[in-house]
Structures are given as structure tokens and as C-alpha cells.
Structure 1
């Protein structure tokens, strides 16, 4: 268990602010372009591009940011529990359309995740 006095607050605040700022700017920009549903994806991709550029220029990311980001990613998995419950309820009501839905879900989820993982592994 981490004590409150051991937490690197400036790193936490800067990491969360970085994520929130990229997301909010991207959502605003995509609303201006008429596609607000793409805001989160554009934010993720733009943050990845900025981190790749930083890594190329500076040769490494700050260790403080990397360690807090690791904790944020581990803890954010719990945010998907309500989404999973909603998806389960949707699947229960779909009936004979389930195979088509699952095929589309599998392709549209695993494809981008695989590409993102390859890019992250190579450049970060």
C-alpha cells in the first residue's frame, strides 16, 4: 500500500492533466469538424504521436510520467466493468443478430488494438 506522503503528486497531476487536455481539445476540435464521436480516438492518436515525437527527439520519456501512467492504466481497467455489463444486456436482447454483432465487434476492436500495440512497442 502506498502512503499519501510517498505519492509523486506533481507527476500525477501533470500526467492526468496531459490526458485530459488532449482528450478535451480533441473532442472540441472534432465537434467543430462535425464528428464529435471521433474525439476520444483523435485524442488517443494525437497523444501517441506527440509521445513518439518526444521519444525521437529526447530519446526517452520521463520516468516519473512512465510510472504514474502505468498505475493509471492498471486502475482504469475498472472503468470498463459498467461497459461490460451494458454489453451483456445488449447481447441478451439481440437474439439471432449476435454472430454478426460479435464479428464486427471483434474486427473493430482487435484490429486497432493490434495496430496501436505494434506502434507503441516500436516507438515507445
Structure 2
């Protein structure tokens, strides 16, 4: 008898609550410091640090890892409207386009390279 592919609702709820909780707390902290625009970044970094520390001292549950992988795959579609808006903006930049593309390339490549090295080491 084949096992049906079911959704692990408790793992999904815990994962989403963790993400939302870290983000909201970070946005609140940064708003108190008069820089709410840095809240998302602080939330992401603090969640990454907490998960890295958790993984160092305890084993990450497979349910949470699996759910997180599914969230990451599905959230890629959220970037499509952002890409369309960036392309329209890029078309209207004129002579500033090469400098913008260089900054975009470096600011994307360096974090991805760092993330790849961190992932390779800890996963």
C-alpha cells in the first residue's frame, strides 16, 4: 500500500511562525532605533545565526528542514513581479545603467558566494 503525500501542518505552522516572529521582532527593534528599513535584514541574519547555533548543538528535525526547503522553492515565484519592475526601471536609467548593473552584480554575487560557503560547511 502506497503512503499518500500529506502536508505536515504542524511543521509548516512552526516554520512560518518562526520566520514571521523573527521578522516582526527585528522590524520593531530597528524601528526603535529609527531604522525600520533594516528590520528584514536583521531578522534574516538573526534567524540564520539562531539556526546555525541550534544546528551546532542539536540536530535539526527533518520535518523542519523539509518544510523549509518547500517554502524556499515556492517563494521563488514571489520575485517575478519584482524582476519585472526592476527591468522597467533599468530601461529608464540611461547612462547610469552600467554602474547600476555592476553594483547589482557585486551585491548579489558576494552574498550568494558567502551563503554557498556557509551552506557547504554546515550542511
Q: CA deviation at 1:57?
A: 0.9
| Structure possessing the higher relative contact order (Cα contacts under 8 Å, 6 or more residues apart) | 1
- Partner Cα distance (1:45, 1:120) in 2: 14
Does residue 15 in structure 1 map to residue 3 in structure 2? Answer: no
4+ residue stretches of structure 1 with deviation over 4 A? none
- Partner Cα distance (2:39, 2:119) in 1: 20
Q: Residue by residue, what CA displacement relative to the aligned partner does 1:41-86 show, whole Å, maximum 9, x if unpaired?
A: 111111111011111111x210000000010000000000000000
Question: Which moved further from structure 2: 79-88 or 106-115?
Answer: 106-115
Does residue 106 in structure 1 map to residue 105 in structure 2? Answer: yes
5+ residue gaps, structure 1, are none
Q: CA deviation at 1:118?
A: 1.6
Question: Which moved further from structure 2: 113-122 or 36-45?
Answer: 113-122
Task: Map 1:1-124; keep pairs closer than 5 Å.
Answer: 6-58=6-58, 60-124=59-123
- SS of 2:44's equivalent in the other structure is helix
What RMSD over aligned residues (CA atoms) do the two structures have, in Å? 1.4
Q: When the two structures are aligned, how many residues end up with a matched partner?
A: 120
5+ residue gaps, structure 2, are none
- Partner Cα distance (1:108, 1:57) in 2: 32
Q: CA deviation at 1:117?
A: 2.4
- Partner Cα distance (2:81, 2:66) in 1: 26
- SS of 2:23's equivalent in the other structure is helix
Structure 1 or 2: larger helix share?
A: 1
